[in-house]
């Protein structure tokens, strides 16, 4: 009986963690994160006296992010699930969005992770656009995906969130979970309160988002938790050309308003 030659198994990928710019592997990895240590008040009392010094680390992260992105040019932040598989139709959608935005002259900014984020970065990079990834220190994080051409790792969510908004002309939101919803509703709140203006928020994926839109209209709005006009702060579409048109129209209005002041 002929023996069957066994194929060599691929080596298991070494788990890597980032603590700001510091890379850690194997036994050096801690289960806590910088955000957790900042926000968790149950630690020893001497941490109270170190909080003012954390300001310097926070300041350093802002400086690093501002320095990286200050000359980025027109950009769009794109959000979606990290759990989306490469054989999923939503992964292909992410690639198409990245490619479409790049061809329209926009850099793309994602969270730099797997799933939809990777797909968007891939589409933009393959189309010759600028592909940005803003990573975050998490207990289960992976490296920035291989399609990030310009990347930075953050310790603090609030610093990272600032970069997503400050250097983008719009948010494009694909189907996702808590992280995606967090970014979506923070952006809606910023628009509602006038913290950002001429900032389109586009939900892509009618079948996924329609239930949320219906709930906002039929529950939140009807119970006077939000105004009916608040539903105008975002658009829902499956048409990628419409996504680009919405962003370009808002940018034209912003430029026109600035020119008139």
Task: Report yes or no on whether pTM surpasses 0.85.
Answer: no
Q: Which of 124 and 38 is assigned the larger pLDDT? A: 124
Looking at residue 45, its pLDDT comes to: 58
Nearby residues of 148 by Cβ (< 8 Å), 6 or more positions away? 110, 112, 121, 131, 132, 133
Backbone angles phi, psi at 153, to 5 degrees: -105, 130
Is pLDDT of 49 > 80?
Answer: no
Are 145 and 121 spatial neighbours (Cβ–Cβ below 8 Å)? yes
Q: Which domains does the chain have, with CATH numbers?
A: 63-259 (3.40.50.450)
Looking at residue 245, its pLDDT comes to: 98
- pLDDT tier at 255, thresholds 50, 70, 90: confident
Q: What is the pLDDT of residues 87-102, one digit of tens each?
A: 999 999 999 999 999 9
**Average pLDDT of every residue of the chain:** 88
The encoded tokens of residue 169 equal 């002309």
- pLDDT tier at 26, thresholds 50, 70, 90: low
Q: Where are the alpha helices (DSSP H) in the chain?
A: 34-39, 51-69, 89-103, 116-126, 157-166, 178-192, 206-215, 240-259
Looking at residue 73, its pLDDT comes to: 94
Is pLDDT of 52 > 90?
Answer: no
Going 249 to 253 to 254 to 259, the CA torsion angle's sign is positive
Is pLDDT of 119 > 50?
Answer: yes
Looking at residue 254, its pLDDT comes to: 83
- pLDDT tier at 35, thresholds 50, 70, 90: confident
The encoded tokens of residue 134 equal 């803003």
d(CA 108, CA 198): 18
Which region among 28-32, 95-99, 102-106, 167-171 has the lowest average model confidence (pLDDT)? 28-32
Is pLDDT of 128 > 70?
Answer: yes
The candidate with the shortest Cα–Cα distance to 211, out of 185, 244, 175, 187, is: 175
Is pLDDT of 5 > 60?
Answer: no
Cross-strand partners of 235: 202
Q: Which of 47 and 93 is assigned the larger pLDDT? A: 93
Is pLDDT of 2 > 60?
Answer: no
- Give mean pLDDT, residues 128-152: 90
Looking at residue 139, its pLDDT comes to: 78
Q: Which of 37 and 163 is assigned the larger pLDDT? A: 163
- Give mean pLDDT, residues 148-152: 94
């Amino acid at each position: 009986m002929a023996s069957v030659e066994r194929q060599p198994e691929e080596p298991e990928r070494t788990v890597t963690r980032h603590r700001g710019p510091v890379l850690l592997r194997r036994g050096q990895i801690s289960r806590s994160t910088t955000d957790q240590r900042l926000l968790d008040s149950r630690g020893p009392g001497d941490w109270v006296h170190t909080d003012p010094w954390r300001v310097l680390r926070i300041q350093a992260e802002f400086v690093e992010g501002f320095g990286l992105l200050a000359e980025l040019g027109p950009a769009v932040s794109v959000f979606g699930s990290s759990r989306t598989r490469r054989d999923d139709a939503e992964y292909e959608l992410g690639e198409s969005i990245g490619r479409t935005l790049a061809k329209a002259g926009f850099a793309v900014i994602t969270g730099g992770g797997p799933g939809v984020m990777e797909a968007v970065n891939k589409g933009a990079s393959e189309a010759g656009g600028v592909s940005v990834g803003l990573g975050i220190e998490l207990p289960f994080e992976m490296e920035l995906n291989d399609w990030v051409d310009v990347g930075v790792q953050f310790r603090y969510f609030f610093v990272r969130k600032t970069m997503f908004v400050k250097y983008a002309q719009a948010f494009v939101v694909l189907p996702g979970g808590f992280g995606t919803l967090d970014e979506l509703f923070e952006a809606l709140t910023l628009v509602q309160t006038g913290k950002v203006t001429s900032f389109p928020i586009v939900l892509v994926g009618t079948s996924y988002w329609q239930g949320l839109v219906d709930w906002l209209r039929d529950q939140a709005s009807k119970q006077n938790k939000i105004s009916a006009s608040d539903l105008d702060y975002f658009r829902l579409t499956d048409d990628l050309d419409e996504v680009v048109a919405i962003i370009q129209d808002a940018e034209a209005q912003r430029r026109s308003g600035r020119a008139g002041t």
